[in-house]
Structure 1
Amino acid sequence: MEVRTGTPQDALLVASLHTDSWQAAYAGLMPASYLDGPLRDQQADMWKSRLASSTQRDGDADGGHLLIAEHGIDLLGFAYLIPGHDGRILLDNLHIDPAQTGGGIGGCLLRHAFAWAATTHPGQPVYLEVLRDNARAIAFYTKAGGHATAARMVRFPAGFELPEIEYTWDADAISAYTAAH
């Protein structure tokens, strides 16, 4: 497996994996009409837009950074980080091909994401938002040293709301994770 920086040419593959990941992880949590309906087109539009400007400057259109995990031509997973105005780094996406979960790809991507954050934004915390009922992801983030720092409701474009939890890693937790892995 190789981890590399993503490019605009990765947009549609990333969007497809993102959709597949949501369909697997959020079945029963989100309406099936959303997961099997407009989600695929929404993800494609978002990723094309996100990555469209990455060739014009360092980072993607929103200042983010895409990491791609692949084996040969197969996309295994991806992570996407966005520096925030408050100094924190949002790990906006960490998704693995549903057929590949449990094989260490998520941990590898998390390590690379933390290394990127520590190098480009030293000393800044990394956080993410996860649906409260996504038990598998919560177990992964807790095992990786993340701490629940907030809880709130999130509203989706399709008009429904779900509870989410924010997990945060401070600079020491980031260093500890990257050193241990």
Structure 2
Amino acid sequence: MNATIRRGSVHDAGAVAGLHALSWRTAYVGIVPEQALGDGLPEERRALWELRLAAEYGEPANTPELLIAEQAGRTVGFAYLVPQPDGRILLDNLHVEPGLTGGGIGRALLGAARSHVARQHPGADLYLEVLRDNSRAVAFYEREGGLRTAEQEGVFPGGFVLPEYEYTWTAADRVQSTS
């Protein structure tokens, strides 16, 4: 893998936004409407990440966590964890630079996310939502022990609706895997 995982900050907004847009344009072709991947995507992602990373969330338990994977000082992946009102932690994003997928960076980010949740939110389940038709991501989450816990419709900016799966890693799974 050869990537280092570190905590991110507002200074990472540009790199994360660029990688996020590139990942969407690679992984979601033929899955999401073409207009959602258009010319405005990089700017929209940059505004989103600047807002998210500069926001004040109050209590540390309510504060999202950005994890960055770097190789030679370059951002090659990221994960974003968001505490939810129901006590679970949403893995809102996990993206790896196209061309580097399959090399262990995603696995390292998911492992770091699970470790962060175990340390900072003991007893909380980690979950994510993935587009049903993103077969590569679905296969990855299943290989990594995610349990499919729901099927739903996701509503995206621009108003389009797509089928999603929810995958969960429970706190009980973490305890069993470390025993």
**Do both share a fold (TM > 0.5)?**
yes
**Structure 1 match to 2:30:** 28
Deviation at 1:176, TM superposition (A): 5.4
Q: TM-score, length-normalised on structure 1?
A: 0.91
Instruction: Please give the alpha-carbon distance, in whole angstroms, between the structure 2 residues aligned to 1:9 and 1:76.
Output: 15
Q: 1:112 to 1:58 in 2, by over 3 A?
A: farther
**Structure 2 match to 1:47:** 49
Instruction: Please give the alpha-carbon distance, in whole angstroms, between the structure 2 residues aligned to 1:12 and 1:74.
Output: 12
Instruction: Please give the alpha-carbon distance, in whole angstroms, between the structure 1 residues aligned to 2:100 and 2:12.
Output: 19
Instruction: Please give the alpha-carbon distance, in whole angstroms, between the structure 2 residues aligned to 1:176 and 1:3.
Output: 24
**Structure 2 match to 1:89:** 89
Q: Secondary structure at the match of 1:19?
A: helix
Instruction: Please give the alpha-carbon distance, in whole angstroms, between the structure 1 residues aligned to 2:39 and 2:167.
Output: 29
**Structure 2 match to 1:8:** 10
Deviations 1:94-127 (A, max 9, x none): 0000111000000000010000000000111000
Question: Which residues in structure 2 correspond to 1:113-152 (within 5 Å)?
Answer: 113-152=113-152
Deviation at 1:36, TM superposition (A): 2.0
Q: Which runs of 4+ in 1 moved over 6 A?
A: none
Deviation at 1:37, TM superposition (A): 2.9
Q: 1:144 to 1:132 in 2, by over 3 A?
A: same
Q: Secondary structure at the match of 1:98?
A: coil
Deviation at 1:45, TM superposition (A): 0.7
Give, as a single letter, the amino acid of the residue that structure 2 aligns with 1:137.
Answer: A
Instruction: Please give the alpha-carbon distance, in whole angstroms, between the structure 2 residues aligned to 1:24 and 1:147.
Output: 26
Aligned Cα root-mean-square deviation (Å):
2.0
Instruction: Please give the alpha-carbon distance, in whole angstroms, between the structure 1 residues aligned to 2:9 and 2:91.
Output: 18
**Aligned sequence identity (%):** 48
Q: TM-score, length-normalised on structure 2?
A: 0.92
Instruction: Please give the alpha-carbon distance, in whole angstroms, between the structure 2 residues aligned to 1:59 and 1:7.
Output: 15
Query: Any gaps of 5 or more consecutive residues in structure 2?
Result: none
Deviations 1:19-68 (A, max 9, x none): 111111100011222202332221111100001136x97769x7200000
Give, as a single letter, the amino acid of the residue that structure 2 aligns with 1:42.
Answer: E
**Structure 2 match to 1:158:** 158
Query: Any gaps of 5 or more consecutive residues in structure 1?
Result: none
Instruction: Please give the alpha-carbon distance, in whole angstroms, between the structure 1 residues aligned to 2:115 and 2:55.
Output: 23
Q: Does 1:37 align with 2:39?
A: yes
Aligned residues: 177
